[in-house]
Amino acid sequence: MTTVHAGRTAVRKSVRGSRGPRRHGRTAALFLAPFLLLFATLYLAPIGYTVHQSLFRMRRSGLGLTAPTQVFAGLGNYATALGDPAFRGSLLRVLLIGVVQVPVMLALALALALLLDARSTPFKRFFRLAFFLPYALPGVVGAIMWSYLVAPGLSPVTAAAEHLGLHLDLTSDGMLGPTIGNMLTWGWTGYNMLILYSALQAVPPEIGEAALMDGCSALGVAWRIKVPMIRPALVLTTVFSVIGTAQLYNEPAILHNVAPNLSSTYTPIYAAYNAVDANNFNLAATESVVLAVLAFALSFGFLKLVQRRGVAR
Partner 1 sequence: MKPSPITTKLVAALAAVTASTLPAACSSGSSGAAPGPASAGGTVELEFWGWAPGYDQVVAKFNASHPNVRVTFGRTASGSKGGYTKMLTAAKAGNAPCLAQVGYETLPSFAAAGALTDVSTYTAEAKSQFSEWTWNQVTIGGQTYGIPVDTAPMALFYRKDLFAKYGITTPPVTWDEYAADAAKVHAADPTVYLGDFGNDAYNYAGLAWQAGAKWFGTGNDRWQVSLDSAANKKVAGYWQDLLDRKLLKTDPSYDPSLYADLTDGKILSDVNAVWNAPTLAASVKSGAGQWAVAPMPVWDAANPVYGNDGGSATAVLKGCAHPKEAAEFATWMSTDAGSVGDLITVTGIYPAATSGLANPALGKPDPFFGGQVIFEVFRAASAHVATDWQWGPTMTQTSTDLGDGLGRAGTGGATLPGVLADVQGKTLAGMKQQGLAVAAG
Nearer CB in complex with partner 1: 230/258: 258
| For partner 1, the closer CB: 16 or 60 | 60
Kindly state the smallest distance separating residue 151's Cβ from partner 1, in Å.
6
Residues 156, 95 contacting (CB under 8 angstroms): no
Q: How far is the CB of 2 from partner 1 (least distance, A)?
A: 46
Nearer to partner 1, 238 or 282 (CB): 282
Residues forming the site for partner 1 (CB under 8 A): 57-68, 80, 140, 143-144, 151-154, 172-173, 250, 253-254, 256-265, 273-274, 276-281, 283
Nearer to partner 1, 209 or 277 (CB): 277
Torsion (CA) 298, 302, 303, 306 in degrees, nearest 10: 170
Q: What's the CA gap between 82 and 36, in Å, rounded?
A: 35
* CB nearer to partner 1: pick between 110 and 253: 253
Shortest Å, Cβ 255 to partner 1: 11
151 or 225, CB closer to partner 1? 151
Closer to partner 1 by Cβ: residue 145 or 306:
145
The CA distances from residue 309 to 224, 235, 299, in Å, are 17, 12, 15
Contact in structure between 285 and 81 (CB atoms under 8 Å)? no
Least separation in angstroms between CB 284 and partner 1: 11
Rounded to the nearest whole angstrom, what is the least distance from the CB of residue 258 to partner 1 in the complex? 7
